[in-house]
Amino acid sequence: MQAYLNHVLADLAEAQLRLPEPLNYRLLYPNHPAPEGLEYIIEWENAPQVAMDDLFGVSHEVFPPAERLTDAQVEALILAILALWGAFNFEADFPPTAPARQLYTELVAFWRDEPVKYTSEGTAHLCLFLCLCDRSGDCQWGDACHCKDA
């Protein structure tokens, strides 16, 4: 498994180098009211939704189930996923005390299921902490849930 994961980790690192060329949204939307120097606003408003598989050039299918990985392998994959997302201006929001295996599973599920809007500037926050417990204490994040304390 480790030899396979080494290839996955290398693919994730390589994908960080394949950032899309920024589009000149001023050409696409010449009448947009964004002031000169703030063209990134046009990009934020008009960037298309795209699957992470397509944006990164790495399929979600490369990620093994958490139960087939050691703790160290899970941690390495989490760090690699977050580094790739960071290179593309995405930041994952999740409970700071989230168990690593559960976090890994949530990251892969988000990658698989949620389209994103890539923008060349700024940071898009990707909310992995979608609390379903309604503050009752019955939460998919278990003890890592912090909404019941809010």
Say what the pLDDT of residue 35 is.
78
CA 3 to chain centre: 24
Whether residue 129 has pLDDT greater than 70: no
Q: Cα dist. 143→8, 37, 91, 137 in Å? A: 31, 46, 23, 9
C-beta of residue 14 within 8 angstroms of C-beta of residue 7:
no
Question: Residue 93 belongs to what domain range?
Answer: 2-149
Say what the pLDDT of residue 131 is.
52
| Number of structural domains found in the chain | 1
CA-to-CA distance for 72 and 37, rounded, in angstroms? 45
Whether residue 98 has pLDDT greater than 90: no
